[in-house]
C-alpha cells in the first residue's frame, strides 16, 4: 500500500503510521496483518525501536477493532502491552493481530511481530473500547 492508496476500510490514517511506513495487507474484525520497514525505525544502536513495535501493535489491533466497531462507532485503545523478545537490524517487521474478544463495547487483540525469517520479535496485546 502506498500513501495514495486508501486503508482497506474508512479509518483515518495516522501521520505516525505514515512516518513508520506501515503497510496493511489484510484487514477484518478477526484478523489484521501488515508490516513496517526496519530502515528508518531504529534506535541509536541500529536495532528496530521498541516504540516502533508498540506503534505497529497498536495500529494493527486498532484497525481490527475499527472493523468490528463498524462505520457508526469508533475504537480507542485503552490498554497496550508489548514484550520485546528479539532484536532485528534490517528488512521488515511483519505483524498479525488476531481477535481474542469481540464484544459490544470492547475488543481485544493478540498481536505477534516477526522478522523476515518468521522469528518472533515481539508479542503484544491491545484492548479497545468501542464508542459511539
Give yes or no: 58 in active site.
yes
Q: pLDDT band at residue 16, thresholds of 50, 70 and 90?
A: very high
pTM of this structure: 0.90
For 38, 99, 119, the CA distances from 12, given in Å and listed in that order, are 24, 21, 31
Q: Of the residues 5, 23, 26, 58, which is catalytic?
A: 58
Q: How many other CB atoms sit within 10 Å of the CB of residue 90?
A: 12
Q: pLDDT band at residue 14, thresholds of 50, 70 and 90?
A: confident
Q: How many other CB atoms sit within 10 Å of the CB of residue 98?
A: 15
pLDDT at 97 exceeding the cut of 50: yes
Q: pLDDT band at residue 114, thresholds of 50, 70 and 90?
A: very high
pLDDT at 9 exceeding the cut of 80: no
Considering the domain delimited by 15-131, tell me its CATH architecture: Roll (3.10)
How much of the chain exceeds pLDDT 70, in percent? 91
CA distance linking residue 3 with residue 57, whole number of Å: 20
CA distance linking residue 40 with residue 22, whole number of Å: 12
Query: Mean pLDDT of all residues in the chain?
Result: 92
Amino acid at each position: 500500500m502506498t500513501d495514495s492508496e486508501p486503508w482497506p476500510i474508512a479509518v483515518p490514517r495516522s501521520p505516525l503510521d505514515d512516518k513508520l511506513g506501515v503497510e496493511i495487507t489484510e484487514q477484518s474484525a478477526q484478523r489484521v496483518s501488515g508490516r513496517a520497514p526496519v530502515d528508518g525505525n531504529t534506535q541509536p544502536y541500529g536495532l528496530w525501536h521498541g516504540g516502533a513495535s508498540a506503534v505497529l501493535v497498536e495500529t494493527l489491533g486498532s484497525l481490527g477493532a475499527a472493523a468490528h466497531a463498524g462505520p457508526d462507532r469508533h475504537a480507542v485503545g485503552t490498554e497496550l502491552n508489548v514484550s520485546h523478545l528479539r532484536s532485528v537490524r534490517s528488512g521488515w517487521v511483519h505483524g498479525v493481530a488476531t481477535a481474542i474478544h469481540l464484544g459490544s463495547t470492547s475488543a481485544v487483540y493478540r498481536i505477534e511481530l516477526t522478522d523476515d525469517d518468521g522469528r518472533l520479535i515481539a508479542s503484544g496485546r491491545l484492548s479497545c473500547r468501542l464508542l459511539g
